[in-house]
Amino acid sequence: MQARTIAILGATGSIGTQALDIAGRYPERFRVSCLTAASSAEKLFELVRRFRPDTAALNTEPDRLPEDVRFCQWFFGPDATVRALLAAKPRDALCAIVGIAGLDAVWHALDVCERVLLANKEALVTGGSLVTAKAARMGVPLLPVDSEHSAIFQCLQARQGNPVKKLWLTCSGGALRSWKKQDMYAATVRDVLAHPTWRMGGKITVDCATMVNKGLEVIEARHLFDMPAEKIGVVIHPQSVVHSMVEFEDGAVLAQLGMPDMRGPIGYAMGFPDRLPYDATPLDLAALGHLDFAAPDHDRFPCLKLAVGALKRGGSAPVILNGANEVAVAAFLRERIPFGRIPEIIDAALQSVPAGPVASIADVYAADRAAREYARARL
Ligand code: NDP
Ligand code: MG
């Protein structure tokens, strides 16, 4: 077997490093040909030494470029990721940059890659049908990396042409799942980053605590699986063992289960259609004893409804939701605003920033700028 070339965009992050763990286990399958990060220069140098890509990129030029990483072609600056990707022309690209900052990379990966492995949900929340239409036009599959969407994608392999009645996304409930409403407003960064089941980057961990993450995932599912919002349900499942489900017309519900470990869905996308063993903890249902499910509490977690509302409104509303959320979450992580301000800022942006049609990527960026300006002024 000839190793497939793969770019890992956002290589120093939570998803990126776990993808490299898988790639490192299967050198005969994967040749990492492009590695990128924003500013974690030392971390990226280490990865470059180990994986020896053709190209590498950082958004900011480091003070020094060590001699032993100079064998590859380096790119620096705000569009360095895309330039490194286009120069490497890998067969696959794992898009694991966080936020709308990753949209450009997804967009260009669709030009040069055979497959796009998508962790960067914000690219789909904001780029929406522009991204899926381009993927279809270019004949490039978008393989989900997000665990819920990977679960649905895996269940859909058994579909055999049958119509789907409903998609069910499971949701851990985040770090504040059992908090009282009156305590949530002042939850600290430390409280919020203590996610019960998953270890992830800071932004998505905050998104889980507000549950905007599940809203972003409903929007992501809408685009990935071409399902209307009404046919996408959310159920709280604190153990994160049932990763999501597909309901068919005869009432049968297929689910994908496993211990929470992102290397499962990452490896599934990387190896698709093959399953690549790694040192996964086996699922022991008897030891777990029980799995719990509950309906989401929209009173304590208003962001889920805000996101689904934005999806139903359409046009640039999801872009506004996402832009306001990115600004609010960054401010919360810098301890500039309390946790409770995050949903307030998103809600206010959705009410105040005019939403319009989105016909091009330029429209997406214009709506994002307007949402960010508004949200920054509200901090
Ligand atoms: P991290 O914050 O851990 O990593 C983000 C990566 O992107 C880092 O390599 C970072 O580089 C790079 N990056 C950040 N900003 C930019 C930018 N402006 N331009 C170029 N590169 C940038 O995030 P995660 O790995 O947690 O998440 C990545 C994506 O995957 C997100 O969209 C998230 O929603 C999604 N996802 C993550 C899951 C998880 O388990 N972590 C689960 C499901 C989905 P640097 O280190 O230099 O900052
Ligand atoms: Mg997820």
What average pLDDT score do residues 210-220 get? 98
Structure tokens at 264: 């499962």
CATH number for position 125: 3.40.50.720
329 pLDDT higher than 80: yes
The reply to whether 340 and 213 lie within a common domain is yes
What average pLDDT score do residues 67-77 get? 98
* Spatial contact of 173 and 239, defined as CB atoms under 8 Å apart: no
193 C-alpha to center of ligand 1: Å? 15
Instruction: Give the pLDDT of residue 308.
Output: 98
* Spatial contact of 184 and 195, defined as CB atoms under 8 Å apart: no
217 C-alpha to center of ligand 2: Å? 7
Among all bound ligands, the one having the nearest atom to the CA of 172 is: 2
Instruction: Give the pLDDT of residue 199.
Output: 84
The reply to whether 76 and 160 lie within a common domain is no
The two beta strands, 30-37 and 55-58, are parallel
Instruction: Give the pLDDT of residue 295.
Output: 98
Residue whose tokens read 């301000």: 341
Q: How many domains is the chain built from?
A: 2
The reply to whether 38 and 88 lie within a common domain is yes
CATH number for position 288: 1.10.1740.10
What average pLDDT score do residues 272-293 get? 98
What average pLDDT score do residues 23-42 get? 98
The reply to whether 277 and 346 lie within a common domain is yes
The reply to whether 88 and 28 lie within a common domain is yes
Residue from 98, 100, 240, 372 whose mutation best tests the ligand 1 pocket (most atoms within 8 A of CB): 98
The two beta strands, 242-248 and 253-257, are antiparallel
What average pLDDT score do residues 226-244 get? 98
23 C-alpha to center of ligand 2: Å? 21
| Structural domain range at position 345 | 149-370
What average pLDDT score do residues 114-143 get? 98
Rounded distance, CA 91 to CA 49, Å?
22
Instruction: Give the pLDDT of residue 197.
Output: 84
Note whether residue 252 is domain-resident: yes
1 pLDDT higher than 80: no
Note whether residue 379 is domain-resident: no
Note whether residue 375 is domain-resident: no
Angle between helix axes 303-313 and 212-225 (nearest 10 degrees) is: 30
Q: Residues in the chain, how many?
A: 379
What average pLDDT score do residues 355-374 get? 98
28 pLDDT higher than 80: yes
298 pLDDT higher than 80: yes
pTM of the model: 0.98
* Domain edge (last residue) among 93, 110, 144: 144
Rounded distance, CA 255 to CA 233, Å?
14
* Domain edge (last residue) among 109, 126, 144: 144
Instruction: Give the pLDDT of residue 280.
Output: 97
Nearest atom of ligand 1 to the alpha carbon of 122? 32
The reply to whether 181 and 239 lie within a common domain is yes
Note whether residue 166 is domain-resident: yes
286 C-alpha to center of ligand 1: Å? 35
Ligand 1 neighbours by CB, cut-off 6 Å: 10-16, 37-40, 59, 81, 96-98, 101, 119-122, 146, 198, 200-201, 203-204, 262
What average pLDDT score do residues 133-161 get? 98
